[in-house]
Structure 1
Amino acid sequence: MGTPDIDTYIKEAEVIEKMYMELLEGTTQKRIKRIDDGSTGLQNVEYRICVINSKNEILQHALLERYGNWYESCRNLVQKYTGMSRSSKYDDLAGLHETTLKLIDLKDPASNSNEKKHLRKEFIACFDAHVRILHSIGPRIASARNTHISLVAADKIYSELDEAETLYDQGSIRNSCIIAGNALERYLKMRCEVCEIELEPEDTLLAMARKLHESNKAYDFDLEMHGIIEHLVDLRDKCVNVDEGEELQEDWLRELIDRIRELTFMTFC
């Protein structure tokens, strides 16, 4: 399963909340009189209760099932991204779960009431608390996502550089340069993906570097870094596009491979 998207969970929470409001609308509010029998000292009072009709029982069952599936996903998410041990967020979510089940059963544990206005108010407050917990772990999920992207990309970059090294040792300089250029492109694309910078199919290596610099999302991608990328692109172009009869300088390729490896190491270590 891919890295979870908090927005997806929050949208599902909105659907569940809407279903609950529909459930309330489909209930009948009855007036009940409580007569003082002298034992409580309370005056005669009139209060309202929600009585679910038979047609809305189907919606109630569907709501319970949908909420149960959603809660289970949220519970696993919170446990995964707040550590394996029980956390305060995990316990808070469990408490909200118990409250929500009672509210779906049309009982408000907070006010000991089952009037519509009380149920509606408490359910909204309860689900707002659910959503706040989800938002609170959003940064941890984003960090885990970026780490995963970076590690996968780094592994592929190192593999390409190893291949370029092998070709270099075999004297296949031009092919080695092409592979090293691919590694540089992968490095820049990975940096853009982590920073959530949108790329176009026609973006060149220099265009990617410019977007990284101008975005201010990559803290280390300053003017000096931009200049380093320009230099590496120039080396790549010299190696790949050397004119016929012109001697290809092997030290260009050696520098290209070594600098890309250095950049990759500095980014991930």
Structure 2
Amino acid sequence: MSAPIDAIEQEVERLEQDAREIEESYTEFFGQCSVEQNGLEVFWKTPPESASENQRKALHDYELWYNSARVLVSEYMSTRLTDFEALYDDFKSRLQLNISAKRGIKIVLDAQHSDFDTQRGIVNSIPARVRVEELKVRKQVSKDVSQGELDKARDLFDNGEVRAGGVIAGIALERYLLMLCQNSDSDIEYNYNDGISALAQKLYEADEIDSSPYSHLQHLATIRADCAHANEVEPDESDVRRLLEDAEDYIRGRKI
């Protein structure tokens, strides 16, 4: 995902505004069209000049809209590109009256609306798709970084550096909780120097976690604090092991 989400949203908004104008043009055009019948044959009557102007405008504006929208669809919704492209020829064919007049103006206009709505829907879904992909990337990066720190913490712990292992495990858990705050829809206000306890409190108040993980995280925060402070008594080895194991469970998504 190369473009910032704000820029993508602005472009999609612009395209939707253009689409509304295109819809107005072709709707007015079909409203000015009429058919005539000669025996069993049904023909489109030659549109009046004012209708032809709406037709030309709709064709011109749709071509510009389609080419701009197709770039976005190709880049950010490639799985729907074939669906998007497949509607192009029929849209233009109807607008050029290159379809049977027997179907009637209302049926033709309804089909035009349906195809264009489908294309617009694909385009308008792009920002949400981009946000989901960015969220996946941020989560994966956070997990990768935190997992690396957990590996270091476990190595320290296994080599008898219990206090240091607990500190690094706490940092890994803090990174994970920061990621949850960043990705929350609740606009959580946080600081990068917030510890486990503060981050858990903010996530709980934003309804991102319930009371059970909140209480558990507060307990882990106490173990982490025992490791970080220069206490005369060494932190309990079983508590630090629990911190290591539970931090990994959170980071791997097994607890929240």
TM-score, with structure 2 as normaliser: 0.66
Task: Return the letter of the residue paired with 1:150.
Answer: K
Distance 1:72 1:14 in 2: 15
1:226 matched to 2:226 = no
Distance 1:30 1:176 in 2: 78
User: What per-residue deviation string (whole Å, max 9, x for no partner) do you get for residues 204-255 of structure 1?
Assistant: 53343234334445xxx33221111111111111211234xx1222514333
Distance 2:223 2:18 in 1: 57
- Hey, what does 2:88 align to over in structure 1? 97
Specify the SS of the correspondent of 2:138: helix
Instruction: Number of aligned residue pairs: give it.
Output: 244
Distance 2:35 2:249 in 1: 80
Distance 1:211 1:235 in 2: 19
Seen in structure 2, the aligned counterparts of structure 1 residues 67 and 137 have a Cα distance that, compared at 3 Å, is: closer
State the structure with bigger RCO (CA 8 A, min sep 6), 1 or 2. Answer: 2
- Hey, what does 1:85 align to over in structure 2? none
Contact 2:91 2:112 in 1 (8 A): yes
- Hey, what does 1:181 align to over in structure 2? 170
Specify the SS of the correspondent of 1:247: coil
C-alpha displacement of 1:150? 2.7
Distance 1:119 1:234 in 2: 69
Specify the SS of the correspondent of 2:47: strand
C-alpha displacement of 1:139? 7.6
1:68 matched to 2:55 = no
- Hey, what does 2:15 align to over in structure 1? 13
Specify the SS of the correspondent of 2:252: helix
Root mean square deviation, CA, Å: 4.8
Contact 2:91 2:115 in 1 (8 A): yes
Seen in structure 2, the aligned counterparts of structure 1 residues 33 and 140 have a Cα distance that, compared at 3 Å, is: closer
The equivalent position to 1:247 in structure 2, one of 233, 237, 240, is 233
Seen in structure 2, the aligned counterparts of structure 1 residues 143 and 225 have a Cα distance that, compared at 3 Å, is: same
Task: Return the letter of the residue paired with 2:84.
Answer: L
Contact 2:177 2:199 in 1 (8 A): yes
TM-score, with structure 1 as normaliser: 0.63
Distance 1:93 1:226 in 2: 46
Contact 1:181 1:236 in 2 (8 A): yes
Task: Return the letter of the residue paired with 2:248.
Answer: R
1:152 matched to 2:141 = yes
- Hey, what does 2:117 align to over in structure 1? 128
Quick one: percent identity of the two aligned structures?
23
Contact 1:111 1:118 in 2 (8 A): no
Contact 1:163 1:176 in 2 (8 A): yes
User: What per-residue deviation string (whole Å, max 9, x for no partner) do you get for residues 62-98 of structure 1?
Assistant: 7524421312432564443xxxxxxxx6664334222
Contact 1:3 1:145 in 2 (8 A): no
C-alpha displacement of 1:160? 0.7
C-alpha displacement of 1:30? 9.5
Distance 1:4 1:96 in 2: 29
C-alpha displacement of 1:183? 0.6
1:164 matched to 2:153 = yes
What are the ranges of 5 or more consecutive residues in structure 1 without an aligned counterpart? 81-88
Distance 1:228 1:130 in 2: 48
